Amino acid sequence: MASYEVSVITPAAASAAAYMTLHTGASLRCKLRELGVIVNAATASSLGLGRPANTPVASTSVLGQACDAADPAATVNMDSAWSTAPTAPTNFFRRFNAGAVIGNGVIWTWPADAPLVLNVSSWLVLWNFGASAGSACSVYAKWDE
């Protein structure tokens, strides 16, 4: 099993909108090991991680990078814009309220024996569940395929 990482700077998410999504391709599952989110402005930001209630269509994506250059190319993308935007998750795996301090953030981890699994052709969304717009964020993910 190979390890991969990717990072993006998200747009500032409106209330009840996505910061970013992570999605798998049609061939491999993703076993998420770590997700870090750091706010880039002094704006209080509500961050929730869950599965979107729809199937988004990404229009701006960054492909994960292999931690070992000899491993095959990643199949997972991190997205920051969509032609069909994700909708709110019915339930969240995790939530975090970042105070209005630049550099405030959270690192969520999952152990190797219990990763957060994204099945083939599935999505996770980092969602602004707050009542006001959130900061642009620096987000990174680490996973195994």
- Take residue 120 and report the two structure tokens written for it: 């083939």
Residues with Cβ within 8 Å of residue 116, at least 6 apart in sequence? 31, 32, 93, 110, 124
pLDDT tens across the length of the chain (145 residues): 899 999 999 999 999 999 999 999 999 999 999 999 999 999 999 999 999 999 999 999 999 999 999 999 999 999 999 999 999 999 999 999 999 999 999 999 999 999 999 999 999 999 999 999 999 999 999 999 9
- Is the pTM for the entire model greater than 0.85? yes
CA atoms within 13 A on the CB side of 68: 8
CATH code reported for the domain at 3-144: 2.60.120
Write down how long the chain is: 145
State residue 21's pLDDT score. 98
State residue 142's pLDDT score. 98
State residue 114's pLDDT score. 97
User: The tokens 């309220």 sit on which residue?
Assistant: 97
State residue 129's pLDDT score. 97
CA distances to 14, 52, 56, 115, 137 from 24, in Å? 25, 13, 12, 15, 22
CA nearest 133: which of 19, 38, 54, 21?
Answer: 19
Contact 111, 41 (CB under 8 A): no
